[in-house]
Amino acid sequence: MRIKLDENIPARLVPLLMDLGHDVDTVIGEKLVGRDDPAIWEGSQAAKRFLITQDLDFSDVRQFAPGTHHGLLLLRLRDPGRNALLGRILTIFESEEVETWNGCFVVATDRKIRIRRKN
C-alpha cells in the first residue's frame, strides 16, 4: 500500500510500516508542513497515496466520498499521544486487511474501525 502520513502522525511509523511491506511517505518529508489541508490532500492524491491523519477537516464523508480518492484513515483516539497513535496504527496495519482499503473512508477509534466503501 502507498501511504502518506500527515504531520500529526508520528514519523516513527515510517520504518515500522515499511517493514510490513508498505511504501510510506510523509508530509514532513515532502516539506509540506504547515500547508493547508487542500494542499496536503492534493499532494496525497497526486501521488496516489492513502492518507493517514487525525485532522478533523478530513472527517466529512460527503466531501471525501469513498471511491473518489485513494483512501483515507482518520484516527479519533481519546488520548491521541504519540505512543497511543503509534500503537493503534500498528495494531490496525498488523491485524486488518488494509490492502483492501484503497478508495475507502476509514475512521478508527480506540476500539472500533468503521470502513466506508464505494456503494
* Confidence category of residue 112, pLDDT binned at 50, 70, 90: very high
Q: How confident is the model at residue 32 (pLDDT cuts 50, 70, 90)?
A: confident
Cell triple for 18 = 515499511
Q: For the chain, what is the mean pLDDT?
A: 95
Distance (Å, rounded) from C-alpha 27 to C-alpha 50? Answer: 12
Decide if pLDDT at 116 tops 80: yes
Instruction: Write the pLDDT tens digit of every residue in 34-73.
Output: 888 999 999 999 999 999 999 999 999 999 999 999 999 9
What is the count of structural domains for the chain?
1
Please give the residue range of the domain that contains residue 67: 2-116
Predicted TM-score (pTM) above 0.75: yes
pLDDT, position 28: 87
Q: Please give the average per-residue pLDDT across 79-91, as a whole number.
A: 96
Q: Are strands 105-108 and 113-116 parallel, antiparallel or unpaired?
A: antiparallel
Q: What is the DSSP letter of 94?
A: H
CATH code where residue 36 lies: 3.40.50
